[in-house]
């Protein structure tokens, strides 16, 4: 691949019916590019968790995916409330998800830990009251 490929998605806030749509499309796009299924799976898991977090915690946002020779970069940006204590948010089991969200099966506090676990690089830039940008990389 001489040039990198980019995909952009807008993620709706609060819509749990279509939640995960951008991740499913990224999975399909990466499959068409012929990437290793194990790499696609890692990207899919990390992106889904980040996408769902934007839907649940930040009233939506945007997703940019960049594919180059050796790496998939995922950039998730929202204008939500931000994360006051990133270290605490990263802990297994920490969640502020409300009951109605928990009843759907979310709120285990495992999303951010999964994103860390399935990527080679993860950076959270968050400002309370302004929003959150999460950058992840999966190498191949």
Partner 1 sequence: MTVSELASAGGFRAIALSDPSREVAGCYVGDLLSWVMGRAQAGNAWITIMSNVNVAAVASLADVACVIFAEGVQPDEQALAAAQMRGVNLIAADMPEYEAAVALSGLI
Ligand X SMILES: Nc1ncnc2c1ncn2[C@@H]1O[C@H](COP(=O)(O)OP(=O)(O)OP(=O)(O)O)[C@@H](O)[C@H]1O
**Minimum CB distance to ligand X smaller for 35 or for 138:** 138
Identify the sign of the CA torsion 90, 93, 97, 101. Answer: positive
C-alpha pair distances (Å), 54 with each of 34, 112, 123: 28, 12, 16
- Give the residue with the Cβ less far from partner 1, 44 or 132: 44
Contact between 39 and partner 1 (CB under 8 A)? Answer: no
Per CB under 6 A, the list member of 19, 77, 111, 137 interacting with ligand X is 111
From the list Mg ion, partner 1, ligand X, none, which binds 41 (C-beta under 5 to 8 Å, kind-based)? partner 1
Q: Which of residues 10, 17, 88, 99 is near partner 1 by CB under 8 A?
A: 17
Site for ligand X in 34-53 (CB under 6 A): 49, 53
Cα distances (Å, whole numbers) of residue 33 to 64, 68, 102, 133: 17, 11, 35, 26
């Amino acid at each position: 691949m001489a040039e990198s490929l980019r995909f952009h998605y807008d993620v709706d806030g609060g819509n749990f019916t279509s939640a995960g749509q951008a991740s499913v499309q990224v999975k399909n796009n990466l499959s068409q590019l012929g990437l290793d299924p194990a790499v696609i799976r890692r990207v899919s898991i990390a992106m889904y968790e980040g996408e769902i977090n934007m839907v649940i915690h930040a009233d939506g946002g945007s997703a940019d995916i960049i594919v180059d020779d050796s790496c998939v970069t995922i950039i998730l940006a929202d204008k939500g409330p931000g994360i006051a204590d990133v270290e605490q948010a990263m802990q297994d089991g920490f969640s502020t998800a409300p009951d109605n969200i928990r009843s759907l099966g979310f709120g285990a506090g495992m999303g951010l830990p999964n994103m860390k676990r399935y990527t080679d690089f993860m950076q959270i830039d968050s400002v309370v009251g302004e929003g959150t940008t999460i950058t992840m990389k999966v190498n191949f």
